[in-house]
Amino acid sequence: MHPQVYSLTLAGTGNRRLQAASPMNFPARHLTLPELGIRFRATRAASIAVAAGLDAEDCALQSMPDASPVKWHLAHTTWFFETMVLERFARSHSPLRAEFREFYNSYYNVVGEQFPRAQRGLISRPGLEEVLAYRRHVDAAMDSLLSEPSLDYEALKLIELGLNHEQQHQELMVTDLKHLLSLNPFSPAYRQAKKELPAKAPALTWKAFDCALVEIGHSGIGFSFDNELPRHRQFLEPFELASRPATAGEYLAFVQDGGYARPELWLSEGWQTVQAQKWASPLYWRRIDGQWQEFTLHGLRPLDPARPVVHLSHYEADAYARWADARLPTEFEWERAAADEPVTGNFAEAGMLHPTPSPDGPMSALFGDVWEWTSSSYAAYPGFKTATGAVGEYNGKFMANQYVLRGGSCLTPQAHIRATYRNFFPSSARWQFSGLRLARDAL
């Protein structure tokens, strides 16, 4: 399969066009430097908004090796622009502190050494104020770079990638912070809850899909990550997909039916994990005075049975599906169902910070609310090629021992998600806003 060719017109360069084959996909329309500058400043401001109202202590702590301190996220997203863009394309850029190149490197071995991930919360200095000064320093250099009318096309590609990378970290900042706050005996709230009217979950129905040979993967219009490419064909047998995600009330029935004590429902590794970790309910559920409570970003709340169940591992989602006489969809079945649906739903911009009851309809809440586990292992599409250089480490090297999730969550920026987007986590991960939608073979 031949790489697609993308074209771009730079503001201030007349009709001069640059072309390049790219493992990351970019808009097949004219993109001006002023547009990119606006997007850069808006994305960077959104990260600061995530941290607004937090104390320096909130931003410094690390609750587990898989999570990172808020101030580390703020610095690492800045490191990306400095290391991947400014080092290569800004002739006069001087780093604020040269040692940040190693300290805020996450996993890019091509770039150099990294500070141990599990020890990020042990570093009290640089403090939050110095991290914010680092952001301002790099932002000023990026603003200067974005004012150059002859900016290299490779730089534009990396800036676009950096903006999408930062949106991923905006979601991670909040999920990591939630895990941290959940360990606090005072159950503090990250934000005050918005007022909502009581709602019931609509009845679960099934939508049937005939067997078909379908196109899977990104079409080439707009940005995509390399793991969404190349677009290819998949044959799907007839299947049915649930009209909405599974609810907390439905999952509670699984818990009350002894779901966590029935080994026949679990994958072998899942059952071993349940036993070793002593799981008896989703991550943030608590049984207090005979009543089920749930820790949320608004503090401890009564469990709402109408909302989508959230913070499930792949093991839990798979066991629940088996208990419900169903299964998890493949990522290809999910994408077929979502391909023609509008990307609307409960996203980060709504400020709800928690899944909301699904609207009624034949296929609702495919986007937003909760990431939906699939039964598909995270692997390369046919014809996938790893990009050269450091960006080649962005996705490809993680294609082992992980499962794909689709659709985004209530913490995902709406502009960041699309039907072809592939998220991925290990089977035991449950601190992310992950839930499930049932599927079954068509009769």
Segment 113-129 shows an average pLDDT of 94
Q: Are 370 and 433 in contact (CB under 8 A)?
A: yes
DSSP summary character for residue 86: I
Residue pLDDT, tens place only, 364-373 = 999 999 999 9
Residue 20 has pLDDT above 70, yes or no: no
Looking at residue 195, its pLDDT comes to: 87
Residue pLDDT, tens place only, 222-242 = 899 999 999 999 999 999 999
Looking at residue 107, its pLDDT comes to: 86
Segment 423-433 shows an average pLDDT of 98
Residue 117 has pLDDT above 90, yes or no: yes
Residue pLDDT, tens place only, 377-389 = 999 999 999 888 7
Looking at residue 228, its pLDDT comes to: 97
Phi, psi of 206, deg, nearest 5: -125, 140
Q: How far is CA 166 from CA 3, 73, 135, 260, 349, in A?
A: 26, 9, 12, 37, 15
Q: Are 202 and 361 in contact (CB under 8 A)?
A: yes
List of domains in the chain? 5-182 (1.20.120), 206-441 (3.90.1580.10)
DSSP summary character for residue 428: T
Looking at residue 214, its pLDDT comes to: 98
Least confident of 181-185, 319-323, 347-351, 385-389: 385-389
The amino acid occupying position 253 is A
Looking at residue 31, its pLDDT comes to: 53
Residue 2 has pLDDT above 60, yes or no: no
SS3 at position 151: coil
SS3 at position 322: helix
Residue 408 has pLDDT above 50, yes or no: yes
Looking at residue 392, its pLDDT comes to: 77
Q: What is the pTM of this model?
A: 0.92
Distance CA 23, CA 42 (A): 25
**Averaged confidence pLDDT in the chain:** 91
DSSP run (H or E) holding 121? none
Distance CA 28, CA 7 (A): 7
